[in-house]
């Protein structure tokens, strides 16, 4: 039983999260386990998690996308541009922002799947291009966005800000889709053995393009939500987000070689990193140390996971 739990990353990670939460609640009884703080943690990780869901699907199929951070900025800035300078209604602007992101995903996917361009180089190049486009759209930043646009993220439900609900919705929806539909299960086969998947009748190239479009689309959604939450579109949004998101997905059980990973893992991985970051803010660990400590904890966690798996698989 124990070995079974340790074999599956989402369970072992969930246990770790519970332990960390309990320990933090004991050490900081006044500041950590408050509704305010916990809902804040969830709000802060909502952008990363929504992007991580798309990244998880890409990682399951054995590829990844480094341009998602830029797409977050681009989608937010383009939407704001359309709202602010073209004065189009909010739903139209949001649709334009997300569709443009999906289009970027299509370019990535098409060039990678059909023209065999290395995914790392392709998406790295796209990272620069899209960041540039975001700058073009927004200049330094676009402020004073319409009320109804800001309401998308700034409204509250049951006292919790909306992005948290969107994030949970995304997680639930994609957990269902990936577990229960043949369409999404194909990505496990593609990541497991691309050539065998092709010979088994799965249209691998098409599926890959769709995965890139989906991932970029989710990054676009995250970008719209983030700029709505900030009430402004900044071209510097989502800097370094791609690596955070890949880290979260891998913590959550994905592997760079493909074929493994579960959607809730994206949330758990992001939650773990956000919890550690929050505890460091609460305990006032200075900014210089935060990255170092986070890095050490990440390596330590993955290492401990490997050691425990080895030990318990023998029993």
Partner 1 sequence: MKHLQLNHISKTFPGVKALSDVTLSIHAGEIHALCGENGAGKSTLMNILAGNLQPDEGTIVLDQLTQIIRSPQNAFALGISIVYQHLSLIDSLNVAENVFANDHPVNKFGIIQFGKLYEKTSLLLQRLKLDQITPNTLVSSLSPAQKQMVEIAKALSQKPAILILDEPTASLTDKETRTLFEILQKLKKEGVAIIYISHRLDELFILADCISILKDGKYQGTFLKQNLTKASLIKLMVGREINSLKSESYRQIEILLSVKNLSGQKFHNVSFNLHRGEILGLSGLVGAGRTEIARAIFGADKIESGDVVLNNVVLNTNHPFDTISKGMAYVPEERKSLGLFSEMSVQDNITVTHNNLTSHIYNATEAAQRSVELKDKLKIATTNVQQKVVNLSGGNQQKVVLAKWLLTNPEVFIVDEPTHGIDVGAKFEIYELLKSLASQGKGIIMISSDMPELLGLCDRILVIKKGTLAGELSSAEATEEKLLTLSTY
Partner 2 sequence: MRVILLLLCCITLSCELPPRSSTEVVKQSIDTEEIKTKNEEYVMVTTAVTMPMYVNHDQAAFKKWGEANNVKVSILGPAEWDVPAQINTIEEVIGTHPSGLLINGTDPALAQVINKAVAAGIPTVVYDSDIPNSNRHAFIGTDWYEIGEMQGEEMVKLINGKGKVAYMGILGLNNMEAGFQGMLDVFKNYPGIELVGKYDDKANVEEAARITSDVLSAHPDLAGVCGFDSNSGPGIALAVKESGKAGRVKITTVDWEPEHLALVKEGTIHMLAGQKRELFTHYGAQFLYDMVHRTNRLSQSDLKAGITSIPYIVNTGLIKITKENVDSFLNNRE
Rounded Cα–Cα distance for residues 295 and 173 (Å): 31
- Residue tagged 């969930």 (tokens): 14
Q: Is 197 in the site for partner 1 (CB under 8 A)?
A: yes
Rounded Cα–Cα distance for residues 127 and 107 (Å): 12
Residue 80 interacting partner from partner 1, partner 2, none (CB closer than 5 to 8 Å by kind): none
Contact 44, 222 (CB under 8 A): no
The pair of three-digit structure tokens given for residue 283, joined into one six-digit string: 């305990």
* Residue 193 region by backbone torsions, left for phi larger than 0, else alpha for psi between -120 and 50, else beta: beta
Q: Is 156 in the site for partner 1 (CB under 8 A)?
A: no
Tell how far CA 129 is from the center of its chain: 20
Residue 231 interacting partner from partner 2, partner 1, none (CB closer than 5 to 8 Å by kind): partner 2
Q: How many CB atoms lie within 10 A of CB 51?
A: 35
Q: Is 290 in the site for partner 2 (CB under 8 A)?
A: yes
* CB closer to partner 2 out of 21 and 37: 37
Name 160's bridge partners: 157
When binding is defined by CB under 8 A, the residue of 118, 143, 181, 200 that contacts partner 2 is 143
Identify the DSSP state of 305.
H
Minimum gap (Å) between residue 117 Cβ and partner 1: 20
Residue 235 interacting partner from partner 2, partner 1, none (CB closer than 5 to 8 Å by kind): partner 2
* Residue 160 region by backbone torsions, left for phi larger than 0, else alpha for psi between -120 and 50, else beta: beta
DSSP-based three-state secondary structure for 156: strand
- Part of the chain binding partner 2 (CB under 8 A), chosen from 18-26, 55-63, 207-215, 228-236: 228-236
Residue 156 interacting partner from partner 1, partner 2, none (CB closer than 5 to 8 Å by kind): partner 2
Minimum gap (Å) between residue 178 Cβ and partner 2: 23
* Residue 181 backbone phi and psi in degrees, to 5: -110, 140
Binding site residues, partner 2, CB under 8 A: 31, 34, 36-37, 40-41, 43-44, 47, 134-135, 138-141, 143, 147, 150-151, 154-159, 162, 226, 230-232, 234-240, 278, 281-282, 284, 286-288, 290-291
Residues within the interface to partner 1 (CB under 8 A): 179-183, 185-186, 188-189, 192-193, 195-203, 259-260, 313
């Amino acid at each position: 039983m124990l070995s079974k739990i340790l074999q599956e990353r989402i369970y072992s990670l969930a246990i770790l999260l519970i332990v960390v939460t309990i320990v933090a609640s004991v050490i900081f009884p006044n500041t950590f386990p408050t509704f305010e703080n916990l809902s804040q943690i969830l709000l802060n990780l909502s952008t990363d998690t929504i992007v991580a869901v798309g990244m998880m699907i890409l990682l399951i199929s054995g590829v990844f996308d480094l341009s998602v951070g830029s797409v977050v900025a681009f989608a937010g800035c383009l939407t704001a541009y359309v709202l602010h300078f073209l004065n189009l209604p909010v739903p139209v602007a949001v649709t334009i922002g997300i569709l443009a992101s999906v289009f970027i995903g299509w370019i990535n996917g098409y060039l990678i799947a059909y023209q065999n361009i290395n995914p790392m180089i392709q998406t790295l190049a796209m990272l620069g291009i899209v960041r540039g486009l975001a700058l073009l759209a927004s200049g330094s930043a676009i402020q004073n966005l319409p009320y109804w646009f800001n309401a998308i993220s700034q409204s509250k439900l049951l006292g919790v800000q909306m992005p948290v609900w969107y994030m949970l919705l995304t997680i639930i929806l994609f957990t269902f889709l990936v577990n229960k539909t043949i369409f999404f299960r194909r990505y496990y086969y593609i990541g497991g053995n691309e050539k065998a998947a092709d010979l088994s009748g799965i249209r691998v190239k098409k599926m890959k393009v769709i995965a890139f479009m989906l991932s970029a689309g989710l990054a676009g959604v995250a970008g719209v939500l983030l700029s709505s939450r900030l009430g402004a579109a900044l071209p510097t949004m989502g800097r370094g987000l791609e690596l955070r998101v890949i880290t979260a997905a891998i913590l959550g059980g994905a592997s760079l070689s493909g074929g493994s990973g579960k959607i809730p893992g994206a949330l758990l991985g992001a939650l773990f990193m956000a919890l550690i970051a929050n505890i460091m803010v609460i305990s006032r660990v200075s900014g210089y140390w935060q990255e170092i400590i986070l890095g050490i904890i990440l390596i330590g966690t993955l290492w401990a996971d490997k050691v425990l798996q080895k030990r318990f698989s023998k029993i």
